[in-house]
């Protein structure tokens, strides 16, 4: 039994809202495309994703949870909130 196309659209809309962008909240670093190159120089497409970590920080006096890349954390661009 096939479902109607309308149901499929509703599922896609729900899925789209639940996806969180793989992007740093501080510097904006996001996924990049490139190649995995084997020893025989065969190139396969792949995605390089930033190493994002959830960080609790204070913005305007409120504790906020952000996804920040490790490079920004190491550089001290984000101050963690003491747990």
pLDDT digits (tens, 9 = 90+) for 37-46: 999 999 999 9
| Domain with residues 22-83, CATH architecture | Roll (2.30)
Residue pair 67/53 in contact (Cβ under 8 Å)? The answer is yes
Sequence ranges of the domains in the chain: 22-83
DSSP 78: S
Q: How confident is the model at residue 82 (pLDDT cuts 50, 70, 90)?
A: confident
Helix H, strand E, coil C: the string for 5-36 is HHHHHHHHHHHHHHCCCCCCCCCCCCCEEEEE
Q: Check residues 7 and 48 and name the one with the higher pLDDT.
A: 48
Q: What does the alpha-carbon distance between residue 20 and residue 73 come to, in Å, rounded to a whole number?
A: 20
């Amino acid at each position: 039994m096939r479902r109607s196309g309308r149901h499929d659209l509703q599922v896609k809309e729900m899925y789209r809202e639940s996806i969180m962008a793989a992007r740093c909240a501080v510097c904006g670093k996001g996924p990049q495309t490139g190649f995995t190159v084997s020893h025989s120089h065969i190139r396969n497409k792949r995605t390089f994703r930033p190493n994002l970590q959830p960080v609790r920080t204070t913005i305007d006096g409120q504790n906020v949870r952000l996804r920040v890349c490790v490079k920004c954390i190491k550089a001290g661009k984000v101050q963690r909130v003491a747990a």
